[in-house]
Each structure stands twice: as C-alpha cells, then as structure tokens.
Structure 1
Amino acid sequence: MMKTVFLSTLIVALSTSAGFAQQPAQCRNFEATIALQMTKDGCLSQIDLCTVGTVMSNEPALSGATWLFTAHGMAETAGLPSLPKKLQSYAGTVLVTAKGGTFTTTTAGMYDAESPAFSQLDRIVKGTDRFSNSTGRLIFLTGVGRQGGGFDSHARGELCVNE
C-alpha cells in the first residue's frame, strides 16, 4: 500500500513538473524597426541581393535579433506590363536569428526604385526553439531609402514565443 501511494505521488509530481517545463507559446503582436543595409556576407542569393539589419522591438524575444533577407527573384513592372518599369516585385526568404531561436519566412514584396521604398509580406514557415510555434504567422514590413544607402524599415506582426 505504501509503495502504491509513493508511486502515485511520484507520477503526479513528475507529470506536474513536466507540465511546467512545456508551457504553451504566448502569441503576441509586435512592432519593430530595422536599419537594413545591403550585404555580401553570407548572401546566397542567385541574383546577388541580400540585406541585413538588427531588430529593435517592443518584443523582448525579438529585440537585438539579426534580420537577413535573401532575394530569390525579381520581375520588372511587378509582372504587369501596364505598370511603370521602376516598380518591381520580388520574392525571397528572411532568416531571423534571435536569443533562444531562429525563424524563417517566405517573402513577397514590391519595390519602387524611383522612391526608393518597399513593402513586403512575410509568412513564417519554420521556427526553432522558442519560435517553434510561430509557423504560419504574418509579418508586414515597409521601408524607405536612407541617405547613404540602405533602408529604414518598420515591421509589425505576430510571434508565438515559447517562454
């Protein structure tokens, strides 16, 4: 009898502590700024176009992260002949490397070479560690060209962070 009570208590204690170790992800909205610069370091783009920047965000899990965009393709006139040639569409991926994990997005965007400015939509397709539950979440990013090169960018979206 004493052995059964001990085993039952042990099983309850282990299952309770396992529950604390695997708390569900907290999904929350965030805003961020990213000063993006063109880069050749680590750029695996077939069209030789990558940007990198450091994320400054109200989301602690994201603040200080590295944002690396890799372009996979571009199309003049956004693929629509009636649009100005200075308007281009592009597709690529973003790898965000933060404290405690990474996530990868697929990206589709529009770039206005005349302004210069861009707007893009990112969908998280893969996450590791504390971002493993963020798959499918959306991020909207806009950027305006900066004197001397690069872009001042603003991002907003949702992340699910494993605490």
Structure 2
Amino acid sequence: MIYRFRVILDNDTEEDIFRDLEIRETDTLEDLHNIVTQSFGFDGAEMASFYISNDTWDQGEEISLFDLSEDNSARLMNETAINDVVHEMQTKLIYVYDFMSMWLFYVELAEIVDETEGHDYPNLMFVQGQVPDEAPERLFEADADGDFNEFEDDLDVEDYDSLDFDENWN
C-alpha cells in the first residue's frame, strides 16, 4: 500500500507551505525524512526526529535519525517502518529538522491507496508555498514569562551564615 502524506511547515506567515508526498507503507521513517528534507529544499545533513502525535498534535514518543542517548536506547528512523507508527487509527507525526534552527512540520496521513504499477516511490505529488530563508522564531514558555529570573529566591550563596545547613555535618 501507498501512504499519502501532507507535510505542513509550521510558520508564522499567511502563506500555507506544504508538500504532498507518496511513500510505501513499508519504507522506513528515514526514507520519509529523506523525501521531506528534499521536497522542502534542505540537504538532510542536520539532526532530525519524528514524534508520534495525537489528534491535538501533542508530542509523544521520539524516533531519532541518530542515537545520541547514553545507553543506546533511542528508537531510530532507519529501524522503524512507517506502518509501525502510522496507520488509519494513528495518522499524525511531528517532524523536527535541525534542532539549532527548529524547523517544525506537521505530518499527517491523508490517504492510503494501492501502489500504481510503473510508478516510482517515494514521490513528491504537490508543492505549495516557498520555504523562508530562516526557520520561524519559536517562543518557549520561559521566554514568554518576561519576569523570569533564575535567581528569584534572592539567596546570597556567599553568605554562609544565613544558609540553613550544618557545615560540620559529617
């Protein structure tokens, strides 16, 4: 079977920027990563991850391009078939490309169709919009709180007499 995905760039412009792609259900998430990066004009050399998502686009389990975990326990794109994580009951993924720039994409399974004989897959079906030169700026929770101060407790760590501990505890 062939999965048809719509991949939408999360951006702050009025223009919709998305790509419609076709790929075999048995291809890996690395294959999907490759066609997404190519179709949006990226070289594919940066770190990337897919996240399993739900209907409200909450971020779930991560599936990485590379295993950067201490214990080599990360789930990897090249070891994960698309149909292991996407199917009729689970249609959404979040895709993050280049963690320094934070390109964010919403990936949704739009349709499952029969494979067309003589057709090459993966296949870029439709292109809408131009990718901006830079990723949209992300506002994180701590950034939104303009009064955030990591030293808010006003403790003077140099004033040992006012700290509540026994320096001869051992």
Q: Kindly indicate whether structure 1 or structure 2 has the higher relative contact order, using CA contacts under 8 Å at least 6 residues apart.
A: 2
The TM-score with structure 2 as length reference comes to: 0.28
The TM-score with structure 1 as length reference comes to: 0.29
